[in-house]
Structure 1
Amino acid sequence: MKILKTVLLSLTLLVVFASAKAQEVTVSTSVNNVITAYLGVKNALIAGNNDMAKSSAKELLTAISTVPAKHFTPEQNTLWAAYTDKLQFDSRHISESAAIDHQREHFASLSKNMFELVKGLKLNATTLYEQYCPMKKATWLSETAAIKNPYYGSQMLTCGKTTETLNK
């Protein structure tokens, strides 16, 4: 009987641990889907493609809405709550505008908030670089160390510098 109780207790602990690990993966995956969608917006703006920026911003809105925030730690949940509405606001504006200048204006705010969120959550699966455009006086996140400026696209493609690295 004692062996049976030990086996049942072990199985219960294993299930609880596996369930907690699965929730952690879901949160991490969801946050990285938000990052990937954000990078899609950035890359569309680099290319000067307002239609692709609109589409990527819609994907970003969807990715934000599917993050299971209830599985965050209390500190992560507070951070997520502080930035969710801001991210959705700018994403919505980008997704509804055909004017690339307007999209880029909202991208500046979106980028500032994404940086703070990603830096605080510490769930990024890849190294990200915060880069700065001195002409626009604005930052963006990039998946590469090479500068490709989303604010001016082909006009000033390599204008900027890396200001911070967010390691995975």
Structure 2
Amino acid sequence: MKKLTILLLIIFSAALGTVKAVTPALTEDVNNVIKNYLALKNALVIDNAPVAQACAATLLAAISTVSDKEMNAAQRKTWLAYADKLSFDSRHISETTDIDHQREHFANLSVNILAVLKALKLNTATLYKQYCPMKKKYWLSEASAIKNPYYGSKMPTCGETKETLQAVKL
């Protein structure tokens, strides 16, 4: 019986070591990434490559401020798997005003940011995963109304909402 009690204490202690409380700073940093991603998306919607370029630079800076120290093990694993990918695409968008090239990187950025947000579960606003059937690409939006960043003013309402990421109550 004593061995069982010791074993249970060891298991309980190990479990406590992997669970961390979500801190306001981590939540704020992740939501700042979301805010800057959405600003980039909105610049692409209105076909404004210079603004998209600036938004991508701000997004890149926001990504670099997210610290994995306050994340639990599962969150950290996901963040470490995707942070460089998010930075790569943000950097490429920030280095050009070629809107077609920006949109190519935005597609990868969108897939990766969606994976991160689903794993971290720190978005404080409802987000909509939307899909452009013409480009076969996804993006996230703060509104359920379709505003297509891949076609911009050419086909602004092309797409559909595929999924809703509910705001997390912390």
Q: TM-score, normalised by structure 2?
A: 0.85
Report what 2:150 is aligned to.
Answer: 151
CA distance in 2, matches of 1:88, 1:123: 19
**1:13-44 C-alpha deviation (Å, 9 max, x unpaired):** xxxxxxx87x7000000000000000011000
Q: Secondary structure at the match of 1:131?
A: strand
Q: TM-score, normalised by structure 1?
A: 0.86
CA distance in 1, matches of 2:97, 2:153: 18
Report what 1:84 is aligned to.
Answer: 83
* Match status 1:96 vs 2:95: yes
Q: Secondary structure at the match of 1:157?
A: coil
Count residues with an aligned counterpart.
Answer: 148
Letter paired with 2:115: E
Gaps of 5+ in 2: 1-19
Q: Secondary structure at the match of 2:23?
A: helix
Q: 1:10-159, aligned counterparts within 5 Å?
A: 24-159=23-158
CA distance in 1, matches of 2:119, 2:166: 12
Q: Secondary structure at the match of 2:53?
A: helix
Letter paired with 1:120: A
Gaps of 5+ in 1: 1-19
CA distance in 2, matches of 1:67, 1:90: 16
CA distance in 1, matches of 2:121, 2:156: 29
CA distance in 2, matches of 1:56, 1:89: 14
Report what 2:17 is aligned to.
Answer: none
Report deviation, 1:68: 1.8
How many percent of aligned residue pairs carry the same amino acid?
Answer: 57
Structure 1 runs (4+) greater than 4 angstroms displaced: none
CA distance in 1, matches of 2:128, 2:89: 21
**1:35-60 C-alpha deviation (Å, 9 max, x unpaired):** 00000110000010000000000010
CA distance in 2, matches of 1:36, 1:69: 19
- Cα root mean square deviation, aligned: 1.1
